[in-house]
Amino acid sequence: MNLAIINFGSGNLHSVHKAFESVSSDLSNPYNIIVTNDPKEIQSADKIVLPGVGAFGDCKNAILNIEGLHASLEASVIKNKVPFMGICLGMQLLADLSYEFGTHSGFGWIPGEVRRITSPKEYKIPHMGWNEITFSDHKLFDNCEQGSDFYFVHSFYFQNQKNEHSIATTKYPDQITAAVCKENICGTQFHPEKSHINGKKIIHNFLEWKP
Amino acid sequence: MLKKRIIPCLDVDNGRVVKGVNFIDLVDAGDPVEQAIIYNAEGADELCFLDITASSDNRDTLLEVVKKTAENCFIPLTVGGGVRNLDDISRLLHFGADKVSINTAAVDNIDLVAEAANKYGSSTIVIAVDAKETAENQWKVFTHGGRKETNIDVVTYCNEVAKLGAGEILLTSMDRDGTKSGFDNKLLKAVTSKVNVPVIASGGVGNLSHLLDGILEGEASALLAASIFHFGQYSIGEVKRYLADNNIPVRI
């Protein structure tokens, strides 16, 4: 089984790679984990992870500028229903639109818009650090406890239409989408690769997930 | 509720921890990776490495340390010390740092803050500020490890770097650093009340109540400490239990 972590030149790829490798190595059938932007390798992957750190528009453009990358993701995730996980900006990219430094279109895979967090003055932006989540019944949260802490760092959030694809939320102080899922596509606003034991559970559950 | 973060900081010279430690189960007291693993297991919310290697020729030793730490600790890792340009940041991120802290280089060239934040995201860029009180309730930025005074006002500077895209500010009081007499909470409050990004308090922690004061009086989002952890005075767990007993939200 191959798991592809998409490399489009964004931030902490090494962290994501090592966290997935560490969790996978404990499985009876560990994944072959590759960090890649090669459309062929992506299309032969059994699971796909899109990490992302940075600004929405820049990251979207970086993906579009790698020949065949966006098309191979669409082919795998939309057509072939390969299980997919977006992390942080990788989750926000699933939305229709983002208002981060202008207006940018996203992948449009999960209905929603990405907007700046508005909060009272005493709530610093970015929303940075460990915050607890409330989740609904979903494979991604197997063996997790309600109210567990995860590591967040973001200034924009995924605004879900009618919350229909939201599977977890956090509060800062208003409710913020912490995870989304639609069929074979899931995403977390928090960083499972930086969320210690709780994060490892999420990664483990994604590796075992059969949507 | 968002938790207040406890961040142990390790000074690293030529790939070795400078300040001694006395963890009883540590095989090699000078190995930063081993200490990072212990802090991680104890419940540290993040880790911070400060590279104080004098010669830039030997800086690569730190990259190995960062790489091994990232392979073993799945919590955020901030690395600073001697970061001059985008290449330095890129290299640290590539080896597994999650955030990079910039000090003197940001003062010398303020454009670097915006360039770095645009390229790597605000969440990746920490601006470290060394502050010294030069007149009552007035603090100036110092650079080059605190050796060089500038005429820059700390609050003004912090506001400026936040506007340019810094994700957080690591604010060290030079007056308090190493004194164990508590954070400079007036300095902290002056910055946290005016700047809308998280501020990490640094310099001066000697006991548990100092940590509490940094949050209640200084209104810091996170607390950085070195010696109280290195010398085994308190464990991360003890610090968190104390703060929790005093109604501070912490991750336990």
ipTM: 0.94
Min distance A73 CA to chain B CA atoms (Å): 23
Q: Residue B20 pLDDT > 50, yes or no?
A: no
> Is B40's Cβ below 8 Å from some Cβ in A?
yes
Q: From chain B, pick out residues whose CB is under 8 angstroms from the CB of A199.
A: 74
Shortest Cα distance, chain A CAs vs residue B5, angstroms:
7
Report domain extents, chain B.
Answer: 5-245
Confidence bin at B201 (pLDDT 50/70/90): very high
From chain B residues 88-107, the ones with a CB under 8 A of any chain A CB are: 93-98
Residue B149 confidence (pLDDT): 94
At A141 the pLDDT is 98
The tokens for B218 are 């200084």
Residue carrying structure tokens 């880790």: B47
| B70 chain-A contacts, CB cut-off 8 A | 14-15, 18
CA distance, residue A193 to nearest chain B CA (Å): 6
For residue B25, pLDDT beyond 60: no
Q: Nearest CA to CA, how far is A94 from chain B (Å)?
A: 18
Q: Where is average pLDDT lowest: A19-33, A138-152, B9-23, B221-235?
A: B9-23
Probe site for chain B from A149, A155, A189, A193 (most B CB atoms < 10 A): A149
Contact state of B5 with A54 under an 8 Å Cβ cutoff: no
Q: Is the CB of B123 less than 8 angstroms away from the CB of A55?
A: no
pLDDT of residue B26: 60
| B57 belongs to the catalytic site | no
> Would you call B248 an interface residue with chain A, using a CB distance cutoff of 8 Å?
no
The residues with which B125 forms a beta bridge, in sequence order, are: B100
Bridge partners, residue A182, by sequence: A185
φ, ψ of residue B86 to 5 degrees: the values are -65, -35
Cα A26 to Cα A50, A87, A209, B86: the distances in Å are 22, 22, 16, 36
Average of per-residue pLDDT across B221-235: 90
The question of whether B11 is a catalytic residue gets the answer yes
Name the band, by pLDDT with cuts 50, 70 and 90, for residue B221: very high
Over the range B161-188, which residues count as b (16 or more CB within 10 Å of their CB) and which as e? bbebbbbbbbbbbbebbeeeebbbbebb
**pLDDT, position A92:** 97
pLDDT at B233 over 60: yes
Q: What pLDDT score does A13 carry?
A: 85
Q: What torsion do the CA atoms of A157, A163, A167, A168 make, to the nearest 10 degrees?
A: 50
pLDDT at residue B40 tops 80: yes
Q: What is the pLDDT averaged over residues B199-206?
A: 96
pLDDT averages per 10-residue partition of chain A, 211 residues: 91 87 96 96 97 87 95 97 97 96 94 94 95 97 97 94 89 96 98 97 98 95
- Domains of chain A plus CATH, in order, are 2-208 (3.40.50.880)
CATH 3.20.20.70 matches B5-245: yes
pLDDT of residue B29: 66
For residue B27, the model assigns a pLDDT of: 61
**Nearest-by-CA chain A residue for B219:** A122
| Mean pLDDT across B222-247 | 93
pLDDT at B24: 52
**Which amino acid would we find at residue B200?**
I
**Region of poorest pLDDT, from A178-182, B48-52, B130-134, B158-162:** B48-52
What token pair was written down for A190? 């928090």
CA B117/CA B49 separation, integer angstroms? 20
* Most confident segment among A10-14, B52-56, B115-119, B239-243: B239-243
pLDDT for res B1: 94
B71·A12 Cβ contact <8 A: no
DSSP string for residues in A81-139: ---EEEETHHHHTTSSEE-TTS-EE---SS-EEEEE----TTS-SSEEEEEE-EE-S-G
